[in-house]
Amino acid sequence: MKKHVIIVGGGFAGINLIKSLRNDSRFRVTLVDKNNYHFFPPLIYQVATSFIEASNISYPFRKLISKYDNIHFHMGNLLKVHSESKTIETDTGNLKYDYLVLALGTEPNFFGMENVKRYALPMKNIEEALYLRNYMLLNLEEAARNKDVKAAEKLQNVVIAGGGPTGVELAGMLAEMGRYIAEKEYPEIKLGLSNLYLIDTLPNLLSSMSEMAQETAYQTLEKLGVKILLNVSVKDYADGKVILSDGKTIPTETLIWTSGVIGREVPGLPEKSIDRGRRILVDGYNKVLGTENIYALGDICLQLTEKEYPKGHPQLAQVAIQQAKNLGNNFKRIEDEKVLNPFRYNNKGSMAIISKFNAVVDLPKFSFKGFIAWLTWLFIHILPLVGFRNKIRLALEWLRLFITNNPSIRLILYPKRNNTSK
């Protein structure tokens, strides 16, 4: 009989596991996801800043799997794992599995700060990116109407918490948009009142990258007018003010949160299999500790078996992709009664775009920056996009936008729910 593989989560790990098992008649695969589309997280900030459309980085699951007879899709939200009966409970029904693969990824970590959780703007998915886009555009319109200097300054101040790649890329994009677009399209706004802050608790931006990358990011963003605050953290967000650990406050209506993640909760797993950051502990083959036939991949898992990574692998797309391919091969090896291959991470480097025509790239043996690094960033970020049409469309759109400095999708849209029941 076909083995039923349930994959929960259609991110990098889930999609690449599907690719490994497609058209293999020994497996029946069901992808479970609360959304009906796959999206490309590294470019989510460009959706939030009105630079590209959400459709440029998204692709429907059903269209993706339509040519594979052994792949199916179930739209639903995971509620609980029942390991004794080998079933999962979702809000749209229960499913029975032979192998369960958890690839749900992470969610924002607000470190117990309730006000920050309630009022800050995260940017982990398409919905949050579109909400952030609308929110900032509405603030600009209100600032254009507002004659009160203090109120206008508060509306125009933007605080980004988190100096990793997402925070740096977002700060660079917002700074350049202010330079090229705000001056032309919002003549009522006094730009001298606008301040863009980038805050991080560590002494350097891009702390996981090379010293060259860190210095380049700092110098470039500083030239663009970004106010960089290091060795300081957000402690609260109350009364329209960001309160910092050094006691200073910043009046703002916009606190964007890119300052840490935590694994998504999976009820039903043994307590001993959950570790720091709510990551799921797995063995060298990505099997969840203390379970049978349950596996975890990507950002949500914590694998401590590799000597080079005693604290676990970095939460990067390449780790998720490589783990998924290795697990897919191991599922086949189980069916063939062959010895399994433990996971070994091949570090292909990291990169970040800082501003127009300027990026930093860290490869295992050397680093580089500038225009060539920017082209490398574009090339690497187009290749993984699902769907040929998406790649061509995004490449052409990027070319036009970088030449003209004029993205034209700054639309404030209000999705309206129909009150009539089905």
Q: Identify the burial level of 339 via C-beta atoms within 10 angstroms of its C-beta, where 0-12 means exposed, 13-18 middle and 19 or more buried.
A: exposed
The one-character DSSP state at 182 is: I
Per the structure block, which two tokens stand in for 396?
A: 């052409």
| Beta strand residue intervals within 54-109, DSSP E | 58-60, 71-75, 78-82, 87-90, 93-96, 99-102, 106-108
pLDDT at position 406, please? 66
**How much is the pLDDT for 144?**
85
Average pLDDT over residues 358-376: 91
In this structure, how many other beta carbons lie within 10 angstroms of the beta carbon of residue 185?
12
Q: Give the span between the Cα atoms of 78 and 312, in whole angstroms.
A: 25
131's tokens = 């909400």
Angle at 57 between CA 53 and CA 62, to 5 degrees: 115
Cβ atoms of 215 and 205 closer than 8 Å:
no
CA atoms of 116 and 112, how far apart (whole Å): 9
**Of 59, 70, 2, which is closest to residue 30 (Cα–Cα)?**
70
The radius of gyration of the chain from alpha carbons, rounded to an integer in Å, stands at: 22
Per-residue model confidence as pLDDT tens digits over 49-65: 888 888 888 999 999 99
Instruction: Say whether pTM exceeds 0.75.
Output: yes
For the chain, give the mean pLDDT.
90
Q: How confident is the model at residue 418 (pLDDT cuts 50, 70, 90)?
A: low
pLDDT, position 405: 66
Lowest mean pLDDT among 66-70, 97-101, 310-314, 406-410: 406-410
Alpha helix segments (H runs only) across 304-361: 317-335
pLDDT of residue 312: 94
φ, ψ for residue 100 (rounded to 5)? -115, 130
Share of the chain above pLDDT 70, in %: 94
Q: What phi and psi, each to the nearest 5 degrees, are found at residue 317?
A: -60, -40
Strand partners, 272: none
Q: Is the pLDDT of residue 417 over 90?
A: no
Residue 389 pLDDT exceeds 70: no
- Residues 270-309 as b or e (16 or more Cβ within 10 Å = b): eeebbeebbbbbbeebbbbbebebbbbbbbbbbbeeeeee
What region, left, alpha or beta, does residue 151 occupy, with left being phi > 0 and alpha being psi -120 to 50 degrees?
alpha
Q: What is the CATH number of domain 3-107+261-335?
A: 3.50.50.60
DSSP state of 253: S
CB 303 within 8 A of CB 312: yes
Tell me: pLDDT of 411 over 80.
no
226-268, pLDDT tens digit by residue?
Answer: 999 999 999 999 999 999 999 999 999 999 999 989 999 999 9
pLDDT range class, residue 188, cuts 50, 70, 90:
confident
Pick the closest to residue 336 from 4, 24, 14 (CA basis): 24
How confident is the model over 199-223, as pLDDT tens digits? 999 999 999 999 999 999 999 999 9
Residues carrying CATH 3.50.50.60, the chain? 3-107+261-335
Predicted local confidence at residue 257, as pLDDT:
97
Question: Which letter does DSSP use for residue 395 in this model?
Answer: H
Q: 114-259 adopts what CATH topology?
A: FAD/NAD(P)-binding domain (3.50.50)
